[in-house]
Structure 1
Amino acid sequence: MECAGKGSGTRCLGPARKRCGRCGAVSYCSASHQISHWKVHREECERLEQQMRNLDLLNDFPFTFSQESTVQISEKQESRCSFLRKRGIHQVGLWVCECRCGASVTSFGNSRLESDTWNLSNILCPCRGPSSPIAKALCSWKDYYEWRCIPLQSPVSLLLHWPLTVYHSIQLAGLGSLTSEISKLCIHYLGPEKELLQLAVFGELRALFPGVFVQIELIGPAVPHHRS
């Protein structure tokens, strides 16, 4: 977990090991970064505290991370920077903030935030529409990769956990079977931060819910005013 105060004006002093004492959802490298970030974090601390009470439920979500593509990182075989650099995607395109030395949302100010470039060959990313409709609900990354005809060594799950978690949440809510009967799906997405640099990955919802107009309302202190 990276320091929540990263990019706030001063450099991080080390690993983010100091968690918020109230919600426990964010960490900081130092007390000074925690204090300076409070004016941002205070608006969502209570909400995050409530979410952390349901941590066991959230940990059961199958699309929170991919063992297939992140095993080297999770088992500490190599750093995330090394993992990305070997694949030619370190600090470029959609991957620009996927490591500690990458960019943060705050460093972009009010400029154009998002990128839409995977920087991968077509066979390794969902650059084209699916070759077939979803035959059954996707319950694992293996299901998703097979449906999208993407090899398991592809790193795209590092980014696609955002839209796939939205997909899984809709399935849990019992709405998955109804998407063939509705024309519009409005999603209120609370507290986006890093996602603001990776908005293009949410385009995968078009493939997951074909024929449905998907509208995502981004809500949170990090969302620029021109997007509110």
Structure 2
Amino acid sequence: MIEIDGLAKIFTLHNQGGVVIPVMPDAALRVSRGECVGLAGASGSGKSTLMRMVYGNYLASAGRVVVDGLDVVQAAPREILTLRRETLGYVSQFLRVVPRVSTLDVVAEPLLALGVEADDACDRARRLLTRLRIPERLWGLSPTSFSGGELQRVNIARGFAHAYPVLLLDEPTASLDAANRETVLTLIEEARARGAAIIGIFHDEDARTRVCDRLVDVASFAVRAA
């Protein structure tokens, strides 16, 4: 589902005299259906950069990133948007929403974009919000005023609303209490069981051990034990 070959990223700091920072010189990675691969490495080693290149937020300097047959590096913007809508989900560390849009609508939106009937989309959203312990009294409110933990759980609910064949997870269990952490790990296990290919960043060692088939060090792309 995910094939990465010769992937490189160089940042040029134009506001600092054109300083060039090579972040990733030659990445190679394969992730199959039903497999979860954890990215390992020190802070600043390129874990989030790799995920953003897979998602198409960062343009690669060289190489290929093929997701379900589409090379994201060469794809047109409309192709990337279609890939994100149908195939490639991304749970980042931050939830960006339009003010005054309700929490229920935020979670249901990926399903509505696929043409799912509103009643069915909202029912799926309600089930996820319930599993993630977001009180029903908050469902009609915009999440812009929520606490950090509540925002994270809404973000996770939105990311798992559609059964994406490919998932990118950036610290999905960070700052969660034990009960919600367990729910998120179960959601990841369910996604693997249905055949999703997953790349994740997990600083929680126990979470890595539980859900990752293997760890890949982004400094060398050598495999570590999960």
TM-score by length of 2: 0.26
Give the structure, 1 or 2, with the largest relative contact order (CA under 8 Å, sep 6 or more).
Answer: 2
- 1 or 2, which has the higher strand percentage? 2
TM-score by length of 1: 0.26
